[in-house]
Structure 1
């Protein structure tokens, strides 16, 4: 078990594992409306069994080196998470993603946590390309991609069916050399 400080405000990044299903479900219940505006996670995690199953799916991905899941704790409470939704070490490509309760918005938690993930992916695992996929309507998510120095690769028009409506998805990315250069300049 580890905890990585995300600054000096007490926020931490930790693995989010099946044994934490009750805490994860409580977090999802608190944030269900806000989190569910753009992602399916609250529709998937609806009870203790589905919470445990979702966390187990990422434990299995971690064991297969194909994905990972981390929680963000602020003041000892789980308030969000970040993940490697896709992790393909052979191809050198991965996709990062996130979610956050409304009460934790505006503190930079996602940007700080995703920086930790990208640093690890690029520096430790040798990833070449890190992707960020978001709803074109999710301005907050697009702003995170911009803060991370990602480049907008394009828009997949009406590619994402969600709650009976087709949405555009934006694809953003940063390449390892771009990441290292930007990090060295700060």
Structure 2
């Protein structure tokens, strides 16, 4: 299957159902770090839940909805990016990410998200790409800023996570604000 180089030792690739065991192993390695701010670490806890999660994204992809991609460094799955939502009718989608701590700080998520956003705007004609993140997730908010997104607001105490209501920041970039295709 295809992959896109993000760095000399890092690739972006479609994450599919048959990657479930690798996906679970990755989640087990990064569970504490990933789970600081996102619920994915709490959802993918065994092989059945890994298969179920990836199956749900396969169904979304088949329906021209959400999509999910893995990030590998030296042939090891260390994170991923996704279109959590992708609505061609409204021209709106949401991009998200997660990463193990061993791969943090290399710009891989930012590069991978640029690939997704380029595709959404230039190939699919989307109008708006959103980024939703906990106000406490400073690294995620920094990615949104590096991508040139605008902070549009905060949904106060909008999401209960591990017994605590979290503020959710909404960032977005519009098609006319994104650089033209190369």
Q: TM-score range by the shorter chain?
A: over 0.9
Gaps of 5+ in 2: none
Matches within 5 A, 1:47-58: 47-58=46-57
Corresponding position of 1:2: 2
Residue deviations 1:25-65 (CA, integer Å, cap 9, x gap): 00000000000000110110000010000000000000001
The answer to whether residue 169 in structure 2 is matched with residue 174 in structure 1 is no
Residue deviations 1:1-27 (CA, integer Å, cap 9, x gap): 2101113x2210000000010000000
C-alpha distance in 1 between matches for 2:28 and 2:113: 23
Find runs of 4+ consecutive structure 1 residues off by over 6 angstroms.
none
Residue deviations 1:84-106 (CA, integer Å, cap 9, x gap): 00000111000000000011100
TM-score normalized by the length of structure 1? 0.96
TM-score normalized by the length of structure 2? 0.98
C-alpha distance in 2 between matches for 1:170 and 1:27: 27
Gaps of 5+ in 1: none
C-alpha distance in 2 between matches for 1:82 and 1:44: 16
- RMSD, matched Cα: 1.0
The answer to whether residue 106 in structure 2 is matched with residue 107 in structure 1 is yes
What is the CA distance between 1:121 and its match in structure 2? 0.2
* 3-state SS in 2 of match to 1:6: strand
Matches within 5 A, 1:140-179: 140-179=139-178
C-alpha distance in 2 between matches for 1:165 and 1:35: 17
What is the CA distance between 1:140 and its match in structure 2? 0.4
What is the CA distance between 1:136 and its match in structure 2? 0.4
Residue deviations 1:109-153 (CA, integer Å, cap 9, x gap): 100000000000000000000000000011101100110000000
Matches within 5 A, 1:1-186: 1-7=1-7, 9-180=8-179
C-alpha distance in 2 between matches for 1:125 and 1:180: 15
How many residues align? The count is 182
What is the CA distance between 1:180 and its match in structure 2? 2.3
